Structure 1
Amino acid sequence: MTAPGRIPPCADHHDARGFRNPHDPTIRTLRDVWRWRREAVPAPWPDRIEDPPQPPPARLGPGRIAATFIGHASFLLQIGGRCVLVDPVWSKRASPLPFAGPKRVRAPGQRLADLPGCDLLLVSHNHYDHMDLPTLRAVRQRWAPPAATGLGNARHLAKAGIHAARELDWWQHVELAGLRITYVPAQHFSARTPWDRNRSLWGGFVIEAIDAPLGACVYFAGDSGWCPFFAEIGRRFPRIDLALLPIGAYAPRFFMRTQHMDPDEAVMAHRALGARRSIGMHFGTFAGLTDEPIAEPVEWLARARAEQGLAEEAFVTLPFGATLELPAGA
């Protein structure tokens, strides 16, 4: 682990200037941005979708794993008898501005107050659709859980009153709340302003129950393009019970390819990981974040499963607010 604010040099993915992707750079020029704005034909999204209410999740014992889909990339995970909030976002916009930026068209699938607890908080990277300071502040005020994130991100969490977040480099781990948390690589980038691009690290998490009798392992990808990291994570963690994989925000492809998987690539990632089950995420929540139609990621995932010979139950999407529960280590 690294002290908050210190970025060690000389790794394959960072130096004194910041962080980088070792496999496929996600550098985007102003010309790329102008091309997107000039050629884009964003699909229309509805102003609002009302999802059927789901029962609040109950706290489970150590023999069960559960994932409750809040929306976009926000989940309540239950593993080893602990409740873990990952990338929680309850705000109306994924933006630094309350009046502009990607706007929520679906309410969070569960109210924060209805969750059974939060023993640990994980934040994958600093983009506004994953790191929402008002929500993080509310989580701290309600539960004050320990927190873990990537290098360079603790300074942001401190603005939400979270002053002891553990910063991790790729492949580093820490034990918190009876769980072993490993920060694993992803192919993406970071920025909260035009002036801090790639000054903090992005990644995913592997969460393992230390004292669960049958063992339990959950992988949360964060944001990532398709890359060799998935196979490497699968080699290092050969028993992933549940993987949470992004399937949306992939259009236009020329612009998003290196940083966001499409559903075909998400199925490839599921196979590369060797995961027992997967849940799709990062879709259908914030208008203005991507150009694809709101329903396309889920429809495409169904086609990708069939074309790649994957059973329907192996890689699913959940209704907003719904919970998938399975036995640990079965």
Structure 2
Amino acid sequence: MNLRIILLALLISGCSASAKVERAHTNAPFDGERFHNYDPQPERSAWDVWKWRFSSNKKEWPEWIESTPQKIPYERVDGLSATFINHSTFLIQTDGLNILTDPFFSYRASPFTWAGPKRVRDAGVRMEDLPPVDIILISHNHYEHMDKPALEKLHRLFPDAAVYTGLGNVPDVLETGFKNVTEMDWWEEAEFKGLKITFVPARHFSARTLRDRNMTLWGGFVLTGRSGNIYFAGDTAKGSHDKMLADKFGGFELAVIPIGAYEPRWFMQYSHVNPEEAVRIHQEINSKFSIGSHFGTIQLTDEGIDEPIEGLIKAKEAAGLKEAEFIVPEFGATYIVK
């Protein structure tokens, strides 16, 4: 039996429980118990999961890819740079601050140490080699985005880091030891040493157990500082929120956009973009430079490990993008944006 599918079935078919968020009003659609996306999408049932399981054309990934972790070249950056660590984990350095996104360093993306999606390569940068981390952004509570064992280790290394996440996620983060934790609604703003942080919509869902689907809020982040606007999409499908981002912020110096975990489309199109849709997001939000994320680390869906890379190349050619306008990053590589 495919344990990856079992875990997904638990998440996707889970029944609801009491609400974790109690607010009279939220900017995100909220029925008093669960959050919803701006764009309607079908609820996935256990039958849908099993249909995927038995009609799956899952490509085989390598068992393990040998790689050498890299070093961050700069402790602080006044301009703007981004280092790809793995999956959705980046170190964004700007305005003298170090921002870590969705830190995933565990061997498995799972509530279990013995089962569930496992990584096929080491992180591109070891946790202990990170420069001082000032800010941690957590887009939502899925296991490869809110990696609690990793957060516990990060707390020991950087106990004073400020953590920002969506509504309802604070109790989970507090359990890892962090004290300075801010929960945010869509479009809500916060400030850290002159850097503006805005939690923005994504088209996705949340769940960590059988009983908490969509009880906490998911989203992306926009950072605004001296270097301009930076967009970290987290995990998302294509949606009406893309135009909202363009309308509100005008454009972005850097956008981190997911390109993987998208097959089969009939199942994944409401949660994850494919490379073609990622290019459309890049264009629609007026990004000057985009970096692909959410690929090549753990197998969550059916496409092969290299298909997001190949798909992005084709999508860029079809859209007439320049090669350097939207890149697939190398693990551990640092990219100077400005």
- If the TM-score is normalised by the length of the shorter chain, which range does it land in? over 0.9
* Residue aligning to 1:251: 263
3-state DSSP class of the match of 2:151? Answer: helix
Give the unaligned 5+ runs of structure 2: 1-19
Q: Equivalents in 2 of 1:188, 1:253: separation in Å? A: 14
Contact map agreement 2:72 2:83 (CA 8 A) in 1: no
Q: Structure 1: which amino acid aligns with 2:323? A: E
3-state DSSP class of the match of 2:324? Answer: helix
Check if 1:188 corresponds to 2:193.
Answer: no
Contact map agreement 1:24 1:258 (CA 8 A) in 2: no
* Residue aligning to 1:121: 136
TM-score by length of structure 2 reads 0.91
Contact map agreement 2:106 2:147 (CA 8 A) in 1: yes
Q: Structure 1: which amino acid aligns with 2:63? A: D
Give the number of aligned pairs.
318
Q: What is the deviation of 1:58? A: 1.1
Check if 1:294 corresponds to 2:310.
Answer: no
* Residue aligning to 2:192: 176
TM-score by length of structure 1 reads 0.93
Question: Percent of counterpart pairs with the same letter?
Answer: 43
Check if 1:68 corresponds to 2:83.
Answer: yes
Q: Equivalents in 2 of 1:119, 1:250: separation in Å? A: 32
Q: Equivalents in 1 of 2:245, 2:42: separation in Å? A: 21
* Residue aligning to 1:278: 290
Q: CA RMSD in A?
A: 1.4
Check if 1:310 corresponds to 2:321.
Answer: yes
3-state DSSP class of the match of 2:178? Answer: coil
Q: Structure 1: which amino acid aligns with 2:316? A: R
Q: Structure 1: which amino acid aligns with 2:283? A: R
After superposition, the C-alpha distances for 1:109-134 in whole angstroms (9 at most, x for unaligned) are 00111112101111000000100001
Q: What is the deviation of 1:179? A: 1.4
Aligned mate of 1:111, from 84, 105, 126: 126
Q: Equivalents in 2 of 1:146, 1:39: separation in Å? A: 44
Q: Structure 2: which amino acid aligns with 1:134? A: P
Aligned mate of 2:39, from 23, 27, 34: 23
Q: Equivalents in 2 of 1:30, 1:152: separation in Å? A: 25
Q: Structure 2: which amino acid aligns with 1:245? A: I
Check if 1:267 corresponds to 2:279.
Answer: yes
Contact map agreement 1:80 1:216 (CA 8 A) in 2: no
* Residue aligning to 2:176: 160
Q: Equivalents in 1 of 2:191, 2:88: separation in Å? A: 23
Aligned mate of 2:67, from 29, 32, 51: 51
Distance 1:48 1:244, change over 3 A: same
Contact map agreement 2:60 2:304 (CA 8 A) in 1: yes
Q: Structure 2: which amino acid aligns with 1:157? A: V
Aligned mate of 1:78, from 75, 93, 100: 93
* Residue aligning to 1:321: 332
Further displaced range: 161-170 or 103-112? 161-170
Q: Equivalents in 2 of 1:38, 1:7: separation in Å? A: 41
Q: Structure 1: which amino acid aligns with 2:121? A: R
Runs of 4+ in 1 over 6 A off after TM superposition: none
Contact map agreement 1:26 1:259 (CA 8 A) in 2: no
3-state DSSP class of the match of 1:175? Answer: strand
Contact map agreement 2:70 2:125 (CA 8 A) in 1: yes
After superposition, the C-alpha distances for 1:22-80 in whole angstroms (9 at most, x for unaligned) are 21325211221111011012100111012354333312332x21110000000110011
Q: Structure 1: which amino acid aligns with 2:186? A: W
